[in-house]
Amino acid sequence: MMARGRTRDDEAERRVLDAAFDLVGSRPPGDVGINDIAEAANVAKQTIYRWWPSRTAVILDALVIGTMKETPFRETDDIRADFEAHLRTVIRLFNSPTGRIVREMLAEAQTDEAIANEFRDRFWQPRRDLSHARLVRGIELGQIRSDLDHEIVLDAIYGPLWTRLTIGHLPLSPADAKRITDAIWPGISRD
Amino acid sequence: MMARGRTRDDEAERRVLDAAFDLVGSRPPGDVGINDIAEAANVAKQTIYRWWPSRTAVILDALVIGTMKETPFRETDDIRADFEAHLRTVIRLFNSPTGRIVREMLAEAQTDEAIANEFRDRFWQPRRDLSHARLVRGIELGQIRSDLDHEIVLDAIYGPLWTRLTIGHLPLSPADAKRITDAIWPGISRD
DNA sequence: GATCAACGAGACTACGGGTCTCGCAAATGA
DNA sequence: TCATTTGCGAGACCCGTAGTCTCGTTGATC
């Protein structure tokens, strides 16, 4: 038995997500309202709220879907080089329009526990898992010490990226990937 | 020549800052409105806006003034121990009501460039300077390598604290001070 | 062609940050 | 003592935006 009535307009859904991604990525954080998104997507506001619970949920979807394939992990037998390459990729991502969207979501996450959970589950954790797998692989290969707290190591490696994105005390350049690796690696490498 | 008219009520100013600190520190971020602060301080809203430009500015003042003397740096000749002790202090601060206030300010800073600058200048940078001075002292004492990027090292040490505060992927316990030091120190110590 | 749900358009509500007004209180100066 | 000036408390008010409701229309199924 099929569903009755008019079916969902997948084209409109895509237009909404595209508009959200483009608008939020191209303006200062906080400058994009739900009306802007609806207008840019040529969609009625109600159509948005039929499928998403809130403005923030739309932007989060746009972020997750729009960056699905970004920040892949190189996988060689040189774990240090893999991490350095990955750091460069994330730095480029943070300096792209996506960086603004991440900042906006992070702001919302501070005051909305549900969004915070969804942001972690759908955006943050998958990337974290990839990094963690690479760390474990490095330990297996004997390139990384096995007596460290994995979570702390990952926080130390990626912490500079996140703090510079959110605090903005210093710019984040691709060259920082090497600097971070240089600072961290001697502390976690085996011998 | 003295100023004419009624003088500023310093008592009321103090009540506003106290109320802001207490309220924002004791509720989920984003749950405290300017009306709540005015009511709790027994002050008219206009009185607040006579001396502060925005709700956010009040909370930032409350944060800066309320934590003026917190997070002091122990200064011994054992720089590693000094950093570990300081990390413990900051962790305690982040787990206290102050942590909520910091999160709230960080959220605002993402969408308000003026607040972002003020937050950095008045809250973030002074602590950063203290940490940096300790790092430089460690280099002088020959306990820390001299070929590292200071900013990156500081970001790596304190990054885990800030990311756990803002992302909330893992709790932050005093024991993490040692874990962070253990992970970072071998990479930055001389020899 | 009857029915059902999604759609675009746009009016509407709810709420909170910020402004305005008013009568009163406290400080100065004549 | 009294006029003037500025801060104060109280509360109405304005305004922008997230989210809801209504309506006439469109596209799908039976």
- Over residues A128-140, the pLDDT tens digits come to 999 999 999 999 9
Sequence-distant (6+) residues with CB within 8 A of B117 are none
Spell out the per-residue pLDDT of chain B, length 191, in tens: 567 889 999 999 999 999 999 999 999 999 999 999 999 999 999 999 999 999 999 999 999 999 988 878 999 999 999 999 999 999 999 999 999 999 999 999 999 999 999 999 999 999 999 999 999 999 999 999 999 999 999 999 999 999 999 999 999 999 999 999 999 999 999 97
The reported pLDDT for the residue numbered B69 is 82
- Nearest-angstrom CA–CA distance, A53 and A74: 36
- Radius of gyration of chain B from Cα atoms? 19
Nearest residue to C2 via alpha carbon and C1': A5
In a 10 Å sphere around its CB, with 0-12 CB exposed, 13-18 middle and 19+ buried, how is residue B36 labelled?
middle
Interface residue A183 vs chain B (CB under 8 A): yes
| B113 touches A: beta carbon within 8 Å | yes
Q: What percent of chain A has pLDDT over 90?
A: 94
* Average confidence (pLDDT) over A105-123: 97
Contact list in B for residue A162 (CB cut-off 8 A) is: 159, 162-163, 166-167
- Protein A161 CA to nucleic acid D17 C1', in Å? 32
* Contact call for residues A163 and A155 (beta carbons, < 8 A): no
Compute the distance between CA of residue B139 and CA of residue B134 in angstroms, rounded to an integer.
9
pLDDT of residue B1: 56
Instruction: State what percent of residues in chain A have pLDDT above 70.
Output: 99
First to last CA, chain A: 65
Question: Cα-flanking dihedrals φ and ψ of residue B189, to 5°?
Answer: -75, 150
Q: Integer distance in angstroms from CA A65 to C1' C9?
A: 29
- The residues of A between 20 and 79 with beta carbon within 7 Å of nucleic strand C are 42-47, 50-51
Predicted confidence at residue A1, as pLDDT, reads 57
Distance separating alpha carbons of residues A21 and A41, to the nearest angstrom: 11
Q: Record the pTM.
A: 0.95
- Asked if B180 lies within 8 A of A156 by C-beta distance, the reply is yes
